[in-house]
């Protein structure tokens, strides 16, 4: 649905212009551009085979032990999709799946040393982007944007 129309072409419904809709689209586009840029940079550093989706997935991993069910919940995907992605990342040498030290029926997902190196490089690229954004828009503007996007008030707004 375009945010430029004011009346739908078929049903003559009123289509109110929405800043929120524009922001959602811009945030999606921003994320896509950043992830694509990071993936390209990592390919240049010989992290070949990495896809943008895999990079987003790995960005959700904590530095210690991770569990498939928790990853599925955070990413909003099925456990089967988590396991498929983990297998791909294991094959590429960036993740390990190990027995849980306390619960034998559970597995923990951890970065390999090479996976840690790749994520370290990705974080360094993020820091470079942070600097560019601060220089262009100012730290206060980025602080305000972060405050808006992480505000508990957002939950109240979307729950109404």
Give the pLDDT confidence of 127-158 residue by residue, as tens digits.
999 999 999 999 999 999 999 888 888 877 77
Q: Per mean pLDDT, which range of 5-19, 23-37, 53-67, 110-124 is the poorest? A: 5-19
Who has greater pLDDT, 15 or 1?
Answer: 15
- CA nearest to 110, candidates 152, 76, 62: 62
Q: How confident is the model at residue 119 (pLDDT cuts 50, 70, 90)?
A: very high
Beta bridge mates, 107: 99
Q: How confident is the model at residue 84 (pLDDT cuts 50, 70, 90)?
A: very high
Distance of CA 160 to the CA centre of its chain: 26
C-alpha torsion 6→8→14→18, nearest 10: -50
DSSP 96-128: EEEE-SS-TT-EEEEE-HHHHHHHHHHHHHHHH
pLDDT at 1 over 70: no
The first and second tokens of residue 81, run together, are: 């999709």
Per-residue model confidence (pLDDT) at position 65:
76
pLDDT at 47 over 80: yes
Structural domain spans, the chain: 49-150
Average of per-residue pLDDT across 55-74: 86
Per-residue model confidence (pLDDT) at position 5:
57
**What is the helix (H) or strand (E) element at residue 134, kind and residue range?**
helix 113-137
Distance CA 71, CA 76 (A): 8
Q: What's the topology of domain 49-150?
A: Arc Repressor Mutant, subunit A (1.10.10)
How much is the pTM?
0.79
Question: What are the b/e assignments for 27-61, b being 16+ CB within 10 Å?
Answer: eeeeeeeebeebbebbeeeebeebebebbebbeeb
Distance CA 142, CA 133 (A): 8
């Amino acid at each position: 649905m375009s945010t430029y129309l004011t009346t739908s072409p078929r049903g003559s419904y009123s289509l109110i212009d929405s800043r929120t809709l524009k922001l959602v689209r811009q945030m999606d586009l921003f994320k896509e551009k950043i992830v694509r840029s990071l993936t390209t940079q990592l390919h240049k550093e010989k992290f070949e085979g990495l896809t943008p989706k895999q990079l987003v997935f790995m960005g959700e991993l904590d530095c210690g032990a991770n569990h498939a069910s928790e990853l599925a919940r955070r990413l909003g995907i099925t456990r089967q999709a988590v396991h498929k992605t983990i297998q791909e990342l294991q094959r590429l040498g960036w993740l390990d799946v190990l027995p849980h030290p306390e619960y034998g029926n559970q597995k923990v997902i951890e970065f390999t040393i090479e996976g840690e190196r790749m994520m370290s490089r990705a974080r360094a690229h993020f820091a470079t982007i942070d600097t560019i954004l601060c220089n262009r828009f100012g730290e206060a503007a980025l602080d305000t944007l972060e405050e808006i996007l992480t505000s508990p008030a957002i939950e109240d707004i979307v729950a109404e």
